[in-house]
Chain A
Amino acid sequence: MDSTSHNKEVIHPLWLRITHWLNAVAVVIMTMSGWRIYNATSFFGFSIPRDITLGGWLGGAIQWHFAAMWLLVGNGLIYLGYNAFTGRLWRQFFPLSPRAFMADLLAALKGHLSHADLGHYNSVQRAAYLVVIADVVVLLLSGLVLWKSVQFPILRELMGGYEGARRVHFLAMSVLVAFIAVHLAMVALVPRTLLAMIRGR
């Protein structure tokens, strides 16, 4: 009994809206505290401005990071589980072809893309959401290596060792932040999408 079949106006079911916003909270905490943790060594040669970091000192940032990770993982598993069991994953994100992606990307750049049906994802959205889901998985796995490098030897070697995992973790964060920037810009362009993610309609 999918609620969308009864009420055509519901674009995002309640479980999706709840997991979306919990994820947003987790991602904001993880990213800002992660920036403070990065600043302790700044191994890429630059620092993140202190005012946009969370935790104040390294120990505080680590406390936030390692508390919010449970929210990110737990909520993420619920999101993926619901998507798989309700069939939404296949319905919303597939089929996806390079040709359709290029066509939709071109249309988007020309401003021709339709937003009439917010419940239907175009190919660019599909690709972007799938990429960001995969990216968060990479973030989690590289984070697992940083946290427990001895306990996950195969994962550690896949990430290029402990030092490799730090860089993978940072680069995956950068991809996530780039996604968020585009995501927020799109919401600003089509503000109805924000309402839909709050009210469901």
Chain B
Amino acid sequence: MANTNHTKHSQWLVENANTIVKDARKEIGRVVHQPDRRAFLQRTLTLGGLSLLSGCSLVDENSIETALMSMSRFNDKAQGWLFDPKRLAPTYPDSMITRPFPFNAFYGEDEAPVVDEAAYRLEVTGLVADKKVWTLAELRAMPQADQVTRHICVEGWSAIGKWGGVPFASFLQRIGADLSAKYVGFKCADDYYTSIDMPTALHPQTLLTLTYDSQPLPAKYGFPMKLRMPTKLGYKNPKHIQAIFVTNTYPGGYWEDQGYNWFGGS
């Protein structure tokens, strides 16, 4: 009896090995940066001219973290105020495209999600008049634009790439989004999520991209679609988008919730 169960269990394991490994990798990806983040506070409190703080029990780690987080929120406001919706990021000739364009995510390149083109549907929710789901064919049928712009990563490198797709402002108008709402949020097939301010969403260079270098986006660059904003740092540009929602409730983001600045752009 027990033996039969054991065999069944083994069979189940074999059949689902790929899924199990994939799930485990996702979990590992989620926690792997946590020790680094813990170290943030230890170092925060024990270094250099700030070492006096660690000896002082009046200032605990949480209050420093809270203070830094509220400064970051203040910086969001300052950046929103500095943002001129008419200023354009520089564009470049095709000859300046960085080849190969670097892959970057919180997981390895071979772990990029594989999204089935035929089954794919884009969900649109929140403060929008038309909540219909979109197929890729419908998105491709909308007027397209392309751009060669510089992708700037928070880590300090930059690379020039060419993206094409639907200007996001026209998509938002098409779905009857409340353009006076504060945020547009994104949920992605790789469990990534992020959100942006409405003025950036409506910026003329913000594209709901379907192509990279005039070819359909490969999985590593975010198939089937990536929101490309040359006015924002890389982590603000979600890939593999499955759902878009318009809201007045702050949605945060995968990296933003851990401490990266929410506005995160120019």
Contact = CB atoms under 8 A, between A and B. Distances in A.
Interface stretch (B20-28, B67-75, B185-193, B216-224): B67-75
Given A40-B156, A149-B152, A62 B44 contact: no
B110 interface: no
Q: Which of A24, A52, A60, A66 has the most CB of B within 10 A?
A: A60
Contacts, number: 112
Nearest to B69: A63
Contacts of B155: 40-41, 58
B157 to A, nearest CB: 5
Contact of B157 (A28, A41, A63, A148): A41
A89 to B, nearest CB: 28
Interface stretch (B32-40, B117-125, B139-147, B165-173): B32-40
B10 interface: no
Given A41-B155, A149-B266, A63 B259 contact: yes
B157 A151 contact: no
B154 interface: yes
A56 B266 contact: no
Contacts of A162: 150, 152, 158
B72 A56 contact: no
A54 interface: yes
A78 interface: no
- Interface size class of chain A, counting residues whose CB lies under 8 Å from the partner chain: 35 or more
Question: Chain A: interface secondary structure?
Answer: helix
A25 interface: yes
Query: Chain A CB within 10 Å — which of B33, B43, B69, B158 has the most?
Result: B43
A72 interface: no
Given A56-B42, A56-B44, A162-B158, A151 B84 contact: yes
A37 B156 contact: yes
A43 interface: yes
B260 A62 contact: yes
B88 A150 contact: yes
Interface residues of B, number: 44
A162 B149 CA distance: 12
B73 to A, nearest CB: 11
Given A66-B261, A162-B158, A59 B47 contact: no
Contact of A59 (B49, B82, B260): B260
Contacts of A70: 71
Nearest to B49: A28
A51 B42 CA distance: 11
B152 A66 contact: no
Given A40-B154, A162-B152, 8 more contacts: A40-B155, A41-B155, A41-B157, A60-B37, A66-B75, A150-B88, A162-B150, A166-B156
Contacts of B135: none
Contact of B68 (A52, A64, A148): A64
A147 interface: yes
B89 A59 contact: no
A153 B49 CA distance: 36
B231 A150 contact: yes
Contacts of A53: 43, 47
Contacts of B88: 150
Contact of A63 (B42, B71, B90, B154): B71
A56 B36 contact: yes
A141 interface: no
Contacts of A38: 156
Q: Which of A37, A38, A59 has the most CB of B within 10 A?
A: A59
- Which 9 residue pairs spanning A and B have beta carbons closest together? A56-B40, A60-B40, A41-B156, A59-B259, A150-B266, A67-B71, A56-B43, A40-B155, A56-B39
B48 interface: yes
A43 B36 contact: no
Contacts of B87: 150-151, 153
Contact of B50 (A51, A54, A153): A54
Nearest to B71: A67
B102 to A, nearest CB: 11
A29 B72 CA distance: 16
A162 to B, nearest CB: 6
